[in-house]
Structure 1
Amino acid sequence: MPCSAAEPRPARGPAEDEGSAVVEFVALGTLLLVPVVYFVLTVAQVQAGAFAVVAAAHQGSQVLAGAEPGELAAADLTAAAQLAAADQGFGPEQLAVRLECSDGACTSPGAVATVHTTLEVPLPLVPGFTDMEVAVLTSSATVVPGRYG
C-alpha cells in the first residue's frame, strides 16, 4: 500500500541533542583555552627573566666601569643588578651575581672584569612550589674599567 502524504508520521520525542552543541563548544573551548593561556604566561615569564638577567649583568658592569680605581663596593654592584631584576618583577633571592677579574684588582686600569648573573625563573601562578623552576637563565657582561686611568 502506497504511503500518502495525509498519513500522520509517528511523533518524535523531545530532541535530546538540542542545545548540547553550544555546551560542548564552550566546554571544549575552555579546556583548550586554559592550557594555551598558561603556556603564554609561562613564555612571558621566561622572556621577562631573559630581559632581567641581561639587564642585571649590564648594570653590574656599568657600576664597575664607573668605579674609581681601587674602590669597588661589591654591595653596589649587587644592588644595581638586583634593581635591574626587580624592574622585571624578580626578587633578590632569585638572582645570583658573581664577579670575575683578570687580575686581583677589578678596577685597576687595563683589568678585565666580568659580571656573571644567574636567575631562577619560577612557574607562574604556582606560589606553593618555590623549588620548581621553568628555567635557570645566565648572562655575563665584560668591561675594562679605568682604561685610561
Structure 2
Amino acid sequence: MQLTTRGRYAVTAMLDLALREDCAPIRLADIAQRQGISLSYLEQLFAQLRRSGLVLSVRGPGGGYRLARKHHLLSVSDIIDSVNERIDATRCDGRGDCQQGSTCLTHHLWVELSENLHDFLRGITIADLIRDNAAGQDRGATELDVSDD
C-alpha cells in the first residue's frame, strides 16, 4: 500500500503554507519552486483544498493562499481526504470481492489496517508537523523537502 504523490504533495504544500503563515498570502509558484512540485499539479490540488474549505484564496496583486483553519485543527487525514486520496490496504478497494467475487480470508485484516492508518493520520496535525520540522532544523536538516522513496 502506498500513498500517492497526490496525498504526499498536498500535505507538503499545506505544511509549506503553514510555515510561512505570518507572511503575505503565498503564491503557488513559490511553493512549487521550493518543493519541486509542478505548478499545474499544485493548482489542481489547491482547487480541491479550497473547495474543501482548508485554504482561502486571495485574488489580485499580492494574492495567493492562506490556511483556512488553525494549525492544531487541521489534520493530515483532512488534507488527504480533501484531495480524494484513499488510504486502502485491501486489493479490492474495500468492496469485499477480492477473491473471484467473494471476500478473501484476510480482507478484514486489511480493512482494519486501513482504518488504523486513517485514525493515525487524523491524530497528526499541521501543528505537529511544524514542531517536527523545527526540531529537524535544530538538528541541521535542510528545508522541508519531499521525494518519492
Q: TM-score by structure 1 length? A: 0.29
Q: TM-score by structure 2 length? A: 0.29
Higher RCO structure, 1 or 2 (CA under 8 Å, sep 6+): 2
Q: Considering fraction of residues, name the structure with more strand.
A: 1
Q: Considering fraction of residues, name the structure with more helix.
A: 2
Larger Rg: 1
